[in-house]
């Protein structure tokens, strides 16, 4: 396997990481930002007020996106194992 093929495999791996973790991180960012704005507007500075909604919504998002995430990672690993098998 030459250098260009290695770089291409790294690019594919980073893209798969972004596709898998991106929705969950995006939802966590949006919820954290909205709760932070609400806390700043109401002057309520309670740590659990920002943690609990973010945790609940991230868990729901992971539950809803788990099929997509599992399929994406399974397809990637099938491709990787096929590539390793062809390297003889």
User: How many domains does the chain contain in total?
Assistant: 1
- 71 in a domain, yes or no? yes
Q: Please name which of 29, 79, 22 lies closest in space to residue 57, comparing C-alpha atoms.
A: 29
What pTM was estimated for this model as a whole? 0.78
Give residue 47's pLDDT.
79
- 54 in a domain, yes or no? yes
- 8 in a domain, yes or no? no
- 34 in a domain, yes or no? yes
- 36 in a domain, yes or no? yes
Q: Per-residue pLDDT for 55 more than 80? A: yes
Output the DSSP codes for 21-87: HHHHHHHHHHHHHHHHHHHHHHT---HHHHHHHHHHHHHHHHHHHHHHHHHHHHHHHHHHHHHHHTT
- Residue 13's pLDDT band, with cuts at 50, 70 and 90, is very high
Tens-digit pLDDT profile for residues 16-48: 999 999 999 999 999 999 998 998 898 888 878
Q: Please name which of 52, 70, 65 lies closest in space to residue 25, comparing C-alpha atoms.
A: 65
Domain range for 39 = 20-85
Tokens at residue 12, please? 């594919």
- 9 in a domain, yes or no? no
């Amino acid at each position: 396997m030459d250098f260009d093929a290695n770089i291409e495999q790294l690019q594919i791996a980073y893209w798969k990481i972004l596709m898998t973790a991106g929705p969950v991180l995006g939802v966590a960012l949006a919820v954290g930002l909205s709760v932070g704005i609400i806390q700043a507007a109401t002057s309520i500075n309670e740590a659990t007020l920002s943690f609990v909604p973010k945790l609940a919504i991230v868990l729901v998002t992971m539950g809803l996106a788990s099929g997509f995430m599992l399929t994406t990672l399974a397809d990637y690993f099938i491709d990787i194992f096929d590539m390793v098998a062809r390297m003889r």
